[in-house]
Amino acid sequence: LKGINPILRAVLSVIPGVRQKYLNGEHLMMAGANLSVAALPLIQAADISPEKPLSEQLDRLGAVLAQTAPRFQAVVSHLQQVEASALPSAERVKFLSVREKVKWLASDLEKVQPLLKNLSVILGGDSPKRYLLIFQNDTELRPTGGFIGSFALLDVDKGKIKRLDLPGGGSYQMQGALKAAVLPPAPLQLLKARWEFQDANWFPDFPASAKKIMWFYEKGGGPTVDGVLAFDTRLFIDLLKITGPIEMPEYNLTVDAQNFVAVTQKQVEIDYDKVENKPKQFLADLAPKVIEKLLAGAADFLPLFSALSDNLNERHLQTYFSDHDLENFSIASGWAGELKDNSQGDYLSVINTNIAGGKTDGVIKQTVNHQAKIEVDGSIVNIVTITREHQGQPGNIFTDLQNVSYLRLYAPEGSQLIKAEGFTFPEEKLFKVAEKWYKLDEDLQAVEQEQTIDETSGTIITKELGKTSFGNWVMTKPGQTTTVSFTYRLSFKLLNENGDYLSYSLLVQKQAGRVADGFFSHIFIPADWRVVWRDPAEIELNANQLNYSVDLREDRYFGFVIRK
C-alpha cells in the first residue's frame, strides 16, 4: 500500500472486486500502526520496579492507559471494518480470533483505568491509610465468612507496608477493654450474654457488619481505621500456592497450601503456650513471612492479581472503606459483599451462622433446592429445601462434633411464610441471661425491623436490609443428614400490561466463606404458556418446567420470558 501512488489508491478503493481487498489492507495497516504505537509505552509502564513506590507506579500506568486507550479503540474500529470473507482462507480463522481478543483487551483496558486510580488511593497514594484486617475461620461459619479468630492493624503509605500488628491473643484480646455493654442478637445468646468484637459480623451484608466491627474495635480502645478487609482461609491457601512452602523453624514446621488449615488449627487451638496464652501467635508469625515472600516476587504480579480477583469474585475476600467514593468503587467492582438488590424479581440467599457448633462447617456438604410455582395470575409460591450432610470423621478433635447453625433465608421483602419444617431448637437452659443494665444495640435495631415469630415452627421473621428473613435452628450430628424447608409466597406478581408476556428472574447470592454449595432450581409455569427467551442457555426446558443447576461458587443470576 505504501508503494502505490495516492491517486491510484483512490481508484482502487472504488473498483468492484478489488475494492474490499484494498480496504481490508488499509484497515489492517491502520490497526497495526495504532497497536504498535499503543503497545510499547504500555509494556514499559507495566514493568514493576521494586525500588519505586507501588502507588506511584500505578499512577504512571494509569496515565499511560489514558493516553493509549483511544488508540486501542481505533484498533478495534479498524478491525471491525475488515471483511473476513475477503481474506485468504488460511488466515481467516486466525484473524477472527485476534479481532475478538483485541476487542476484549480494549474493553478491559478501559475498566483498568479507574481500578488503578482507586488502588493507588487504597494503598495510600494520596495519604497514609490504616485498615483493620479480619481473619475469618470458615470452618466455623459466620454470615460474612467465618468466626473472627484474629485481626491485624495495617498501615500503608504510597504502596508500602509501614506496620502490620497482629495480636497473638486474637479477637478475644478485645474483651477486657470493651467499654460497651449491649445485648447481642438473640441467637448469639447461646454463646454470650454480651455482644462482643469476635461476634460482630452478624449481618450477611458486609458493609453493615464492617461498620459494626469498627464500632466494637473503637469501643475496645482501638484507633479509627479507614476500612475493613476481611478474608477466610481460602485466600491464605491461594497465596501459599504462589509463595510455595513457608519455613517456620521456631515451630519446627513447614506450612504449605495443602496443610495450612490443619496445621494452623492445631497450633491455635491445641499447641500454643498456655502460660503465655497467645493462641494466635502462630498466625502473627506466619503472616509477615507470606507477605515478605509475595513482595519478593512482585515483578511477577499476575498470579497474585489473579488470586485476589478469584477470592473477591467468590466472596472469600471482602472490602469496606469509610471513604464514600472508595466504597462506591468497591460496590461497583463487586468487592463489597453487600446483599444485592433485585427489586424487579426473585431473590434468594441462605446464610448459616455456626453458634457453639465447633469447627465443623468445613465438613458440611450443603445443597439448596429451589422450587417456584408461577400461578396463572402471576403469583409465585417458593419452596426452598436445604440439605446439610455432616461428613466429619469419628475421633477427629475438630469435626467429630454436632454442627449447630442458626440458618437464615433471605427472600424478597414482604414475602409471607406459609410453612417451615425440619428445624430443631437448642435447649432453652443453654442460652445466657444478660445483665439488666445491658442496652439494646441501636445498629441491630436499625437493621432488624418488624420482627415476628411463626408460632407453629418457631421461625423468626424479620424485615432486614431490604429483604425478608426467615430464621431457625438446624443441628446436624456427625454422619447424619438434616433437611429443612421454607414455603413462602412472594410479595409481588408477574404482570404485563397486555398480558401476553411474563418475565421472571432470580438472583442467588452465595454465603461468603462457603466454597461451592450445590444449587438446583425447578420452576413450574402455567400449562398453556411457553418459554420464548431464557438466559443462560443452560436452563433446561421440560414441558411446563424449567430446570437450572450450578455449583454456587459465586453469585448467580438467571431468568426467562414466557408467553401465553
List, in order, residues 6 or more apart from 313 with CB less than 8 Å away.
Answer: 334, 554
Size (the chain), residues: 564
pLDDT digits (tens, 9 = 90+) for 121-174: 998 888 999 999 999 999 999 999 999 999 999 999 988 889 999 988 888 888
Cα 164 from Cα 364, distance rounded (Å)? 34
Confidence (pLDDT) at 156: 92
pLDDT digits (tens, 9 = 90+) for 96-124: 888 888 888 887 777 777 787 888 899 88
What is residue 386's predicted lDDT score, i.e. its pLDDT?
Answer: 98
Per-residue pLDDT band for 520 (boundaries 50, 70, 90) equals very high
- Grid look-up 410453612 returns 419
Averaged pLDDT, 327-333: 93
Mean pLDDT of 498-526: 91
Alpha helices for 462-516 (secondary structure H): none
Predicted local distance difference test score (pLDDT) of residue 10: 54
What is the enclosing helix (H) or strand (E) of 419?
strand 416-421
Q: Which residue from 70, 146, 114, 61 is spatially nearest to 353, judged by alpha carbons?
A: 146
| Contact yes or no for 473/279 (Cβ under 8 A) | no
Q: Cell numbers for 174, please give them.
A: 478485645
- C-beta separation of 287 from 235 below 8 A: no
Q: Binning pLDDT at 50, 70 and 90, where does residue 330 land?
A: very high
Smallest CA-to-CA distance from 184 within 208, 212, 207, 211 is with 212
In tens, the pLDDT along 262-303 reads 999 888 888 777 777 788 888 889 988 998 888 776 556 678
Cell 437450572 locates to: 548
Q: Mean of the per-residue pLDDT values for the chain?
A: 89
Alpha helices in 378-521 (DSSP H): 442-447
Q: For residue 249, is the peptide bond before it cis, meaning its omega torsion is within 30 degrees of 0? A: no
Which range (239-248, 285-294, 515-524) has the least confidence?
285-294
Q: Which three cell numbers stand for residue 52?
A: 519505586
544-558 pLDDT tens trace: 999 999 999 999 999
Number of neighbours of residue 126 by Cβ within 10 angstroms = 12
Cα–Cα distance, 320 to 236 (Å, whole number): 19
Sequence letter at residue 297: G
Top pLDDT among 253 and 90 is at 253
pLDDT at position 3? 61
Cell of 353: 451462622
Find the mean pLDDT for residues 403-427: 97
Q: Which of 53-62, 140-149, 341-350 has the lowest mean pLDDT?
A: 53-62
**Eight-class DSSP state of 460:** E
Sheet holding 129-137, edge to edge: 160-165, 147-157, 129-137, 227-232, 317-321
Q: What is the pLDDT of residue 335?
A: 93
Sheet containing strand 481-489, edge to edge, reads: 416-421, 481-489, 380-390, 364-374, 517-524, 545-552, 540-542
pLDDT at 559: 94
Phi-psi bin for 354: left (phi > 0), alpha (psi -120 to 50), beta?
Answer: beta
* pLDDT value, residue 159: 83
